[in-house]
Amino acid sequence: MVNIREITKDTTWLGGSDRRLALFENLFPLPDGVSYNSYLIRDDKNVLFDTSDASIAGQFLENLGGALAGEKLDYIVILHMEPDHCAEIADVVTRYPDVQLVGGAQTFKFLDQFFPGLGKDSRLIVKEGDTLSTGNHTFHFVTAPMVHWPEVLMAYDDYTKTLFSADAFGTFGALDGGIFADDHDFEKEYLDEARRYYSNIVGKYGPQVQAVLKKAAGLDIAMIAPLHGPVWRKDIPWFIDKYQKWSTYTPEDDGIVVIYGSLYGHTESAAETAAAYLRGKSGKDVKVYDVSKTHSSYLVSEIFRASKIVLFCPTYNNGIYLPMAALLHDLSALNVQNRTFAVAENGTWAPAAGKLIKEELAKLKNVKVIENMLTIKSALHPTDQTALEEFVDAVIKE
């Protein structure tokens, strides 16, 4: 059954949602699925912006046929050569053999790595500032290197003022029938997933996102059409402001996130008690997570949101408890900056996790580690009450 929707003049969304995939990139949990968006503009010439993942190939190809309504396809624009949007290029070329492929020079290099020689006699190489005119619509190409692939292009249609933004401004989460962000309560239903998508997939590339936001500021944008998640036609400045914060590693709020590791529950109990004091004494939002239970992509996302992070960690074979060590590795790989951390360690014979964690945090840019460190010998006891409260007070005061 064809499932398409006109989103603006001559422009049809013809993507699809996948609710079966467990892990995006075989890495990030997808409890609410994901959408792969593709767009067809029907003009004197018909142009398709990207294809889809192989998982929704059947729906995508049926939608493309429905949207073309018997007309021919003139161009496929490849905004970046990543398989979640390019898996169906060969199938589209087989069905519409006269189609011309449009992309950056490096895109065609990658195309040849995935599909050797595909459409080799009908390739149109574009670069920053080039345009593609289809009649009424003229598409202006803007490069967005390393957001989050090397050769990402965005395209701006000056007729409808639509920015085809590639993976930028995308989110995890299937579409629930509403193609526009304003069909949903986006803040409630998608914002956490949009942040998790951004922080884990694009988070490392803040300066590159900043460069694109500067280019976008020079465009009169009425619509943003990303490759995942809903299309934006209202409240665009609100969402751009989120990207502004995320790409400058600026906290969104002054909440406190407590993340603990614990083998037998004693460090956990200390963390829960500290969280209760933190909330009671500061009145701020406090969230508590078990590093062994919550997937690191959610923890990374929460760290992108909040301004203060409190880590409770057992010493493990003279080192950092492994799931916590993995999280710290993620933070460094994703370039996390501008945060305040506090550290509490546990050890039964030779507590060492705190010092080691501080060494890892010192590798992050512009990160403040609160001097007061809580050391738990196996378990907290009433005699540790003062130390615990002093630790909590130091977190609040900083």
Ligand X SMILES: Cc1cc2nc3c(=O)[nH]c(=O)nc-3n(C[C@H](O)[C@H](O)[C@H](O)COP(=O)(O)O)c2cc1C
Binding site for ligand X (CB under 6 A): 262-268, 314-318, 346-351, 378
User: Shortest gap between Cβ of 314 and ligand X (angstroms)?
Assistant: 3
* E strand segments, 60-184: 75-77, 100-103, 123-125, 131-133, 138-143, 153-157, 162-164
Minimum CB distance to ligand X, residue 340 (Å)? 24
CA dist 62 to 57, 75, 162, Å?
Answer: 8, 18, 24
> What separation in angstroms does the CA of 128 have from each of 79, 85, 135, 153, 247?
12, 21, 21, 8, 22
* CB nearer Fe ion, residue 100 or residue 165: 165
Q: Which stretch in 60-68, 163-171, 256-264, 306-314 sits in contact with Fe ion by CB under 5 A?
A: 163-171
Question: Which of Fe ion, ligand X, none sits in contact with 299, Cβ below 5 to 8 A by type?
Answer: none
Tell me how far, at minimum, the Cβ of 201 lies from Fe ion, in Å: 7
Exposure class string for 236-258: b at 16+ Cβ within 10 A, else e: beebbebbebbbebebeeebbbb
Partner touching 346 among Fe ion, ligand X, none, CB below 5 to 8 Å by kind: ligand X
CB 352 → ligand X: shortest distance, Å?
Answer: 6
CB of 358 to Fe ion, least distance (A): 35
By CB under 5 A, residue 53 contacts Fe ion: no
User: How near is the Cβ of 292 to ligand X at its closest, in Å?
Assistant: 10
Among 43, 74, 82, 345, binds Fe ion (CB under 5 A): 82
Nearer to Fe ion, 10 or 151 (CB): 151
- Whole-number Å distance between alpha carbons of 308 and 313: 16
Which tokens in the block code for residue 29?
Answer: 């949990």
Closest to ligand X by CB, 283 or 349: 349
Percentages helix, strand, coil for the chain (3-state, rounded to 5) are 35, 25, 40
Nearer to Fe ion, 51 or 315 (CB): 51
Q: Which one of residues 167, 193, 268, 302 is an interface residue with Fe ion (CB under 5 A)?
A: 167
Q: What is the dihedral of CA 141, 113, 63, 127, to 10 degrees?
A: 10
Contact 169, 227 (CB under 8 A): no
Q: Which of ligand X, Fe ion, none lies near 200, with the C-beta cut-off 5 to 8 A by kind?
A: none
Structure tokens at 148: 């989050």
Interaction of residue 268 with Fe ion, rule CB under 5 A: no
Q: Which does 263 bind (CB under 5 to 8 A by kind): Fe ion, ligand X, none?
A: ligand X
Tokens of 88: 């169906």
Query: Minimum CB separation from ligand X for residue 307, in Å?
Result: 26
- For the chain, what is the radius of gyration of the CA atoms? 24
Minimum distance of ligand X from residue 256's CB (angstroms): 20
83: tokens are 């398989």
Q: For 106, list phi and psi in degrees, rounded to 5.
A: -70, -30
Return the range that interacts with Fe ion (CB under 5 A); candidates 76-84, 216-224, 314-322, 387-395: 76-84
Bridge pairing between strands 368-369 and 340-347? parallel
The binder of 315, among Fe ion, ligand X, none, by C-beta within 5 to 8 A per type, is: ligand X
Q: How far is the CB of 164 from Fe ion (least distance, A)?
A: 13
Q: Of ligand X, Fe ion, none, which one sits near residue 167, judging by CB under 5 to 8 A according to partner kind?
A: Fe ion
Among residues 2, 1, 14, which one has the least CA distance to residue 41?
14
* Side chain identity, residue 108: F
Contact 84, 58 (CB under 8 A): no
Shortest spacing between CB 274 and Fe ion, in angstroms: 39
> Among Fe ion, ligand X, none, what does residue 307 contact (CB within 5–8 Å per kind)?
none
List the beta bridge partners of residue 343. 311
Binding site partner of 267, from Fe ion, ligand X, none, Cβ cut-off 5-8 A by kind: ligand X
Comparing CB distances to ligand X, the nearer of 193 and 268 is 268
Distance CA 48, CA 13 (A): 10
Residue 82's binding partner, choosing from ligand X, Fe ion, none, with beta-carbon cut-off 5 to 8 A by kind? Fe ion
| 193 binding Fe ion? (CB under 5 A) | no
Whichever of 73 and 258 has its CB closer to ligand X, that residue is 258
Instruction: Give 69 or 350: the residue with its C-beta nearer to ligand X.
Output: 350
Interface contacts to Fe ion, rule CB under 5 A: 82, 84, 167, 227
